[in-house]
Amino acid sequence: MVENIRLSSASWWLVPDARQVGGGTERWFSREWFTTHAFTTKKIDVPSSWQTLQGLERYEGTCWYFTWIQRSLLERLLPTTNHVSLRFNGANYLSKAWLNGVEAGTHEGGFTPFSFHLPQSMIKKVLETASGDILLAVRVDNTRRHDQVPEFSSDWFQWAGIYRDVFIDVQPGSRVERCLIVPVLEFGAGEHQLQRAAIQVTVRATAGLAFTWTVVDPQGNSVASGKVSLPPVDGGAGQAIPAPVVRRFTVPFPATPEPRLWSPASPALYTLELVDGDGDLLHASRFGLREIKASGTDILLNGKRILLKGSSLHEEKYPLGREYPKAERLKDIAGMKALGFNFLRTAHYSHDESLVEAADELGMLVGEEIPVYWNIDFKNPRVLRLAARMMRDLIYRDFNHPSVIWWSAGNEVPVSRRDCSQFMITIMRLAKRLDPTRFSVFVTKAFIHDPARKQSDLLLLNSYFGWYYLSERLFGSACDVVHGTAPRKPFLMSEFGANAMLGFGRREPLNEKSSEWKQASIVSHAIKSFNARPYMCGWAIWIYRDFKSHMRLGKHEQGYNRKGLVDEHGRKKLLALWMPRLLHQRRKFRAWKMYFGMLIAKLALVPAAFVDMVVDLVSPRVMRKVNTGYYTATPAT
């Protein structure tokens, strides 16, 4: 029987460790230390970020988390063949855990779940260490470093700590480790009517396991079922061993009732259930029947052309930080759909899985990304392995979510450098090998010279005409030139926008930066230019909601990136009020400009490459300078 025992609660305590001494001779992870120093701790909710506590608002460094686990919980797991693990859905950034002073494991990374296996021998040792309840101690360090992902420089606030749920997972010894579901759809000509539907299921489970599978439709009715028996693995001398094996099988859907496709307009969700011989649930996963692919410069959803129109979103909500309930994420998706959006890009890391669950349920396409951002250490093999693991973990977590349509290897990286372009190509190839059914992409800031562009399934460009440089009237011409670099590839403007301070320049046409009117003017001109171009497959405004950033300390920013359609409290700016009627407006398109742009792209390749090389050489120094000085290495008194 599968159990997920939630440890998240208000019964946690926190201690900052600015001197980095807790993991050494002082042994803060021990019961003895905690019981004698409990008076020095702060109460904290888990999940949450420590910056929500007074005195730790800007603290960057190490903190220790402590909570008690009932002894009886672990005692009943002995002796059994159960597989037990300690799971964190997210902790930023370096994490290490102990149970009664016994080390459980370490993890690097801030945005995907990770688990520490608790074998029977460890559980026994933990119980023998002391009587009474079990102390769980977790050390979390969010110090920014160049050899991390993301690295020292980034344009978002460094929320830290255990900011997603914590569980003890209990599974039977014969268990399902992974279940991946791929829809197989066949469409007829003409109106693209669905002719046949099936799913291909790949199960990684313990050898010798037998289970019954059932597909349940959106109304809760069983539409197909069957049995699967995995072959045993011979360990020699006729003894079977509990090694994991992989089994694939196909589930055809009956013609009646007609299978329901998943789309933003009709987000129909099915469920696949795997049950063992005792009737215990081994695994359950929701999925949707949908197909996403490219055809020339178009993106096809279930055989029909779709234009992606939406915005990016950081995982942050005032005043909670990065941790907020699924109900709030459902509100975000509903708010975006009310503006007419059908697409959301997660910036610039994997959000909590409840976001893609909300997108599945309400009907919102999602592009996901790992935090390979700006100027990480591309030459470092360890960093490459770290990024690869992050991509693999993200894909396996969200593989069955129909809302997800791409895996992005990173954002605004210096692709003019050979080490960077090879890094991105390696990660994109990995994503494509793990999941050939979705787009494998990365987001570029390079207009013309981009050595990694050929490997990306889509051309995704960030551009800020009218805000950081030149005029918004150049968006159309710039798109024509960029399209000329990859004329057979779908092209989406993945970031564009402008700052706006709520209430500044809202009721009068104030042509001044950071006014609401100026933001609406820049974005509206850009959208009309994008909508007019037949080779563009969509756009994503930067960003849906204002978010904290240590780089943004100006008069009209006050610690926030103010490019949102709504402010940090969710109040709509002028652009959000314009959006429903702006969504489909377009400027007049002249085809000769597209061909002229293709010519410019070829002629400007060499000078563009030189400019990019200079920018990519200078930007790390500039970004490091503006990322220094905000955070403190010691808690405030």
> pLDDT at position 191, please?
63
Residue 276: strand pairing partners: 211
Residues 198, 184: contact at Cβ < 8 Å? yes
For residue 202, which of 153, 106, 274, 289 has the smallest C-alpha distance? 274
Domains annotated on the chain, with CATH: 3-171 (2.60.120.260), 176-293 (2.60.40.10), 294-605 (3.20.20.80)
- The amino acid that residue 251 corresponds to is V
How far apart are the C-alpha atoms of 328 and 315, rounded to whole Å? Answer: 11
For residue 242, which of 208, 214, 213 has the smallest C-alpha distance? 208
Low-confidence ranges of the chain (pLDDT < 70): 190-191, 235-241, 637
> pLDDT at position 606, please?
82
Residues 339, 576: contact at Cβ < 8 Å? yes
Q: Which residues contact 176 (CB under 8 A, 6 or more apart)?
A: 203, 204, 205, 209, 211, 274, 282, 283
> pLDDT at position 424, please?
98
Angle between helices 381-398 and 418-434 (to 10 degrees): 30
Residue 88: strand pairing partners: 114, 166
Residue with tokens 């605004």, as numbered in its chain: 412
Residue 427, H or E segment: helix 418-434
Q: Which residues contact 25 (CB under 8 A, 6 or more apart)?
A: none
> pLDDT at position 136, please?
97
pLDDT tens-digit profile of 429-438?
999 999 999 9
Residues 86, 104: contact at Cβ < 8 Å? yes
pLDDT tens-digit profile of 43-63?
999 999 999 999 999 999 999
> pLDDT at position 237, please?
56
How far apart are the C-alpha atoms of 465 and 496, rounded to whole Å? Answer: 8
> pLDDT at position 240, please?
57
- The amino acid that residue 126 corresponds to is V
Reduced to 3 states (helix: H, G, I; strand: E, B; else coil), residue 467 is coil
pTM of the model: 0.96
Residues 535, 593: contact at Cβ < 8 Å? no
> pLDDT at position 496, please?
98
Three-class DSSP labels, 338-378? HCCCCEEEEECCCCCHHHHHHHHHHCCEEEEECCCECCCCC
> pLDDT at position 241, please?
61
> pLDDT at position 559, please?
94
DSSP 23: T
